Amino acid sequence: MPKPRPFDREAIEAAFAEIGRRAVDAGRIVEVTVYGGSALVLTLRSRPPTRDVDAVFEADRGFVRQVARDIAIENGWDESWLNDGVKGFLSRADRDPASRSLFRSYPSEQSPGLRLFLASPQYLFAMKSLAMRIGGADESQDLNDIKALAELLEIRTSTEAVSLVEAFYPANRISPKTRFGLEELFDRPGGTAQE
């Protein structure tokens, strides 16, 4: 069995290219939207690899799951490498075209089998903030992702950060932990976003 590859940009793109090729062979065009760390790996060149790929694929779900399982076996990956666990974090604005954009068609624009969409940086910032795990196992990467997105989006204060999160999620869904975490990042001396 081959040694598992980390989910860096090259591995993610190779897996999606293979899904695209198999979709073309099956006479299908499937659409997948990617969120979380894997979207950041594809968006930010310096983002370290992720453990899995958080995605939503409503149409052709059975086909995509089977192809993903086959690719997992071929690469020695966990069968849930492509999963839809992110559904619990989707915003009411998820269907808004501004929330995602076409990243690439695989295997090619001329012969697409897969259209891969990425959540927008604004949406990723809101999702990462909502899921903020202060003190958790992924603390440094979650905080680094929020910091990198804040820089990209030119967010300077917790007020701006919370406003952006509220553009995607109702205020009652934003926990005190998230609000406090954003204050720590943006407003406190020595906060991560102020470095």
Least confident of 20-29, 45-54, 186-195: 186-195
pLDDT at 133: 58
- pLDDT over 70 for what percent of the chain? 90
Check whether 137 has a pLDDT greater than 50.
no
Least confident of 18-27, 97-106, 183-192: 183-192
Say if CB 125 and CB 35 are below 8 A apart: no
Mean pLDDT of the chain: 89
Q: Quick one: tokens of 50? A: 């992720």
Its pTM stands at 0.88
pLDDT at 136: 43
Model confidence over 31-86: pLDDT tens digits? 999 999 999 999 987 888 988 999 999 888 999 999 999 999 998 899 999 999 89
Check whether 21 has a pLDDT greater than 70.
yes
Amino acid at 153: L
**Closest residue by Cα to residue 108 from 170, 54, 29, 45:** 29
What does the buried/exposed string (b/e) look like for 128-160 if buried means 16 or more CB atoms within 10 Å of the residue's CB? bbbbbeeeeeeeebbbbbbbbbbeebebeebee
Question: Residue 21, Cα to own-chain centre: how many angstroms?
Answer: 22
Give the CA diameter of the chain.
57
What does the buried/exposed string (b/e) look like for 162-179 if buried means 16 or more CB atoms within 10 Å of the residue's CB? bebbeebbeeeebeeebb
Lookup result for tokens 């071929």: 74
